[in-house]
């Protein structure tokens, strides 16, 4: 079952349509968020909506609806579907206007909420780890803005699929940034490294949660750049993301990471993360 709300009103999935001149369709002129729901509890919905608002400021998109109304629609969608575990997709575009590159003087936002039952990753992925490939990061320079223009990410993910890998890890020159739909952490000598939260990566909500977990556990952590060689030489590598959660990587470009199994530090973070999924509701 899929529950859809379009501009604040529930519609049947087959009737959920927008204009052919919607700027999200024609220009990728819009933003999105994906929020996880565990046992009916939203996992940091407020943080997702805060990032959505910040992204709107970055692309000069003025919301003509109340963010609290959007929040309530998300809750209605989950309740309507009677979902326990769900994914909630939120998209806001600048709306429909005659096609021209500059922003229209007047337009009405198109905002959509889609809720459906979540499909968790196979538990064996967390137990045994997964593989990744590396690809050049050919995206624009404002990756911190979560826009719907994701074709470079899609191409990277397709390359990973064709290689039989779970994920594609981006690099700009020799520097690892993030992955096609997740952030990247490495562990070396019990120290965590992840790329700084600047314009070159998305400031992932799960990434932020893991930083908080690391602080709670008293782990040594640095938000600093690291190279491809450091990635290959790491003791542990893991990904973070809303649907990915905390995912151990045991092979990159065919090279074994560490001992070839999820490391102790990664496992401890997974354990703490799962505790939060059983308590957080905001």
pLDDT reading at 236 higher than 90 = yes
Reported as a single tens digit per residue, the pLDDT across 160-205 is: 999 999 999 999 999 999 999 999 999 999 999 999 999 999 999 9
pTM beyond cutoff 0.95:
yes
pLDDT tens, residue by residue, 90-122: 999 999 999 999 999 989 999 999 999 999 999
Give the residue numbers marked as catalytic: 146
pLDDT tens profile 204-235 = 999 999 999 999 999 999 999 999 999 999 99
Output the CA torsion sign for 25, 113, 48, 86.
Answer: negative
Residue 124 parent element (H or E): helix 123-128
The answer to whether the beta carbons of residues 102 and 143 sit under 8 Å apart is no
Q: Which domains does the chain have, with CATH numbers?
A: 2-117 (3.30.470.10), 123-277 (3.20.10.10)
- pLDDT computed for residue 83 by the predictor: 96
Sorting pLDDT into bands at 50, 70 and 90, what band is 282?
confident
């Amino acid at each position: 079952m899929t529950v859809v709300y379009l501009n604040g009103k529930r519609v049947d999935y087959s009737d959920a349509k927008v204009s052919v001149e919607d700027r999200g369709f024609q220009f990728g002129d819009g933003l999105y968020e994906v929020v996880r729901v565990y046992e009916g509890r939203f996992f940091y919905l407020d943080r997702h909506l805060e990032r959505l608002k910040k992204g709107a400021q970055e692309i000069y998109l003025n919301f003509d609806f109340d963010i609290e109304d959007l929040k309530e629609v998300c809750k209605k969608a989950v309740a309507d579907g009677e979902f326990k575990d769900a994914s909630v997709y939120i998209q806001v575009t600048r709306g429909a206007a005659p096609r021209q590159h500059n922003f229209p003087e007047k337009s009405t936002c198109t905002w959509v909420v889609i809720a459906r039952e979540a499909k968790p990753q196979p538990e064996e992925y967390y137990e045994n780890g997964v593989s990744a490939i590396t690809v050049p990061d050919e995206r624009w320079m404002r990756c911190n803005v979560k826009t719907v223009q994701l074709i470079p990410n899609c191409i990277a993910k397709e390359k990973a699929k064709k290689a039989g890998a779970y994920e594609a890890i981006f690099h700009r020159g020799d520097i690892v940034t993030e992955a096609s739909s997740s952030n990247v952490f490495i562990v070396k000598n019990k120290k965590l490294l992840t790329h700084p939260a600047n314009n070159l990566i998305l400031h992932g909500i799960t990434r932020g949660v893991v930083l908080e977990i690391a602080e709670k556990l008293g782990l040594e952590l640095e938000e600093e750049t690291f190279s491809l060689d450091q990635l290959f030489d790491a003791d542990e590598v893991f990904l973070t993301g809303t649907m990915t959660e905390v995912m151990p990587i045991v092979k990159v470009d065919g090279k074994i990471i560490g001992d070839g199994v999820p490391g102790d530090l990664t496992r401890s973070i997974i354990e703490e993360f799962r505790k939060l999924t059983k308590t957080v509701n905001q």
